[in-house]
Chain A
Amino acid sequence: MLRPRLLRAALPLSAYLALAVGLFANAWRAPFATIVGYPGDAFQSITA
């Protein structure tokens, strides 16, 4: 009873997680040396 409920709850989370990893694929290609976004940098630089 509990397992199907857990599975039903975990399935949407897995789908979101797959999307998030795909979205940040640039960072995940080298996750120890590349970082998501521009933390610590001037955000405006992205528009330059």
Chain B
Amino acid sequence: MNPLLSTYVNHPHGANLMWNTAIPLVGVVLTPLTLTVGPVFAYNLVMTLALAVSAWTAYLAIHRYVTTAPAAWLGGLVYGFSPYMMAQSLGHPHLTIAFVPPLILLALDSLVIRQNRPALFIGIAAGALAALQLWIGEELLASSGLVAILGLFILMELNPDRVRAQSRYALRALAIASATFTVLAAFPLAVQFFGPQPLLRSLQPHNLYATDVLGFFVPTDMQQVAPEPAVGISRHFTGNLSEWNGYLSLPLIGLLVFTAIRFWPLKVVRFAASLGLLIAGLSLGFTLRFAGSLTAVASVVVALPLPAFRRVLPARTMVLALMVVPIALITVPVIDNLLPSRLMLYADLMAGFLLATFAQSALHWPAVRARGVAVCAIGLTAIALIPRLPYPSSSAATPSFFTSSSVRQIPEGAVVLVAPFARIGSGDAMLWQAMAGDRFQMPEGGVIADGNPYPADPPPSTSLNVLRGIETGTLPALTLTEPLRQSLLNDLNRWHVRMVIVGPMAHQELVLALYSSVLGATPSWQGGVYTWTLPDG
């Protein structure tokens, strides 16, 4: 049995979990907790630890350069509680469990710059970290790899005199890292690319999820300080709330600019400012969008002023990256699933480095008044970045049928059709299935699988069309014709459904009437749901 393939959703086709966001390693680690206290508690714990541990590893990375602990702590805060994290915490744990990228940065720092440990040790550590990220979530591994390559080129352009001396150790350690990664990642990558349902087409619409030009300055609904005129603008940004990740705020941008100019001689500032600026530029996507209006202007125009600053900035790398990467993100298979807006995670990490550098320096300024201004500036930044409070949450109410002994009426592993029909945007049935300890399989589910149309609907079927139509109100007056009845019965037969369950949902009475007619029987009411038991075979 392959743990990276499942037919518990999308039955009988199932899904290749490596093309989904299954966070397999986190799932395995939390299994004892999930089995004892349930998936909802486990999920809440993951979402909470994701922020704290990500902020902490960012703190550790920043603390290597910023020795004052409170200053480094502020830097970690900017990363772990960034607008990116706040927006993605709405439902994307694979993107908020982001504690590995700062550790990869530490490893690369040891590998490329410090080189004060055996190359074998650093190489194995870097490769193991990359594999760890793969087992948590592949998207962050891909974006970390992209940012690491950009960072290396920036480093080389900023320090050309050191490239030759450092390259031999670095190449040896990188080769060891690659070998380590290959060993640890061979199985999941083999399942993904050579297993069932390889999905080499693009799974995301191109040039939609990218930062608006105003997105760096204008707060969204995820910020506590978000005046109505401002959110009136941000609500029109392309994409959706969880993908509006570009917000930095005016106070933070002001501090970053000040820090970059004032402390430019510091290598860490030159690197963080250059890489952060580049990532922010890349997050704009292929073409610019302004206040939600997509323009035909290629985002590479932001590179035009860079050559004028080539004496101070790594302009060659930045211009080349701004020309090549946006095209790669819409043309190169697999890579074209990276969403530009999500790159802001790394810009936030660089912002954390810069803010920590500023805070450390400001703490030691001799003039009391200057220190006071600095504290006010940091305070203003903190206020601007306060997330929306209370943070949104939703009910995980589950009919008692799924959490009591009633569910044992279903033979272990049998197929059950549950309404509301699970798909992206309607996950109740999947929650109930998890709360039932995965007792049964379902022909439905919000998963990405071969043959499923975007956005990850289950394979086309009459049941999907009818149940979705009734639930959403687009089929308010459905007439059950004989062909329709036969088609719905055919779905149940070909899926080998042993039970039909109708739980709490919109227009429940219409679904009950429909399946009573289709099955020629009235349902049983038990544990908060209506059920029809079907004969085996």
- A interface residue numbers (CB < 8 A to B): 8-9, 12-13, 15-17, 19-21, 23-28, 31-44, 46-47
Contacts and interface: CB of A to CB of B under 8 A. Distances in A.
A37 B241 contact: no
A46 B392 contact: yes
B393 interface: yes
A16 B56 contact: yes
B333 to A, nearest CB: 27
A10 B89 CA distance: 24
A7 to B, nearest CB: 12
A19 B53 CA distance: 12
B43 interface: yes
B188 interface: no
B218 to A, nearest CB: 14
A20 B221 contact: no
Contact of B431 (A8, A17, A36, A40): A40
A24 B431 CA distance: 20
B396 interface: yes
A26 B81 CA distance: 17
Interface in B66-104: 69, 72-73, 76-77, 80-81, 89-91
A23 B397 contact: no
B37 A32 contact: yes
Contacts of B235: 47
A39 B55 contact: no
Given A8-B69, A12-B59, A42 B425 contact: yes
The A interface, classified by DSSP as helix, strand, loop or mixed, is: helix
Given A12-B56, A23-B387, A46-B90, A37 B77 contact: no
5 contacts: A12-B76, A20-B81, A32-B41, A37-B394, A47-B235
Q: Which of B37, B40, B235, B428 has the most CB of A within 10 A?
A: B40
B240 interface: yes
Given A13-B52, A13-B56, A41 B241 contact: no
Nearest to B431: A40
The B interface, classified by DSSP as helix, strand, loop or mixed, is: helix
Given A8-B69, A23-B387, A38-B394, A16 B91 contact: no
A26 B391 contact: yes
A12 B73 contact: yes
B48 interface: yes
Contacts of B393: 24, 26-27, 34-37
B48 A24 contact: yes
Contacts, number: 134
Interface in B277-312: none
A19 to B, nearest CB: 7
A39 B91 contact: yes
A43 B240 contact: yes
B249 interface: no
B504 interface: no
A38 B240 CA distance: 13
Nearest to B91: A39
Interface in B21-74: 37-38, 40-41, 43-44, 47-49, 51-53, 55-56, 59-60, 69, 72-73
B52 A17 contact: yes
Contacts of A43: 90-91, 240-242
B390 interface: yes
B241 A44 contact: yes
Given A12-B76, A16-B55, A20-B48, A41 B425 contact: yes
Nearest to A33: B396
A32 B91 contact: no
A24 B430 contact: no
A38 B392 CA distance: 7
Given A35-B40, A41-B91, 7 more contacts: A13-B53, A17-B49, A25-B391, A31-B44, A37-B392, A43-B240, A46-B221
B392 A26 contact: yes
Interface string B426-467: 111011000000000000001000000000000000000000
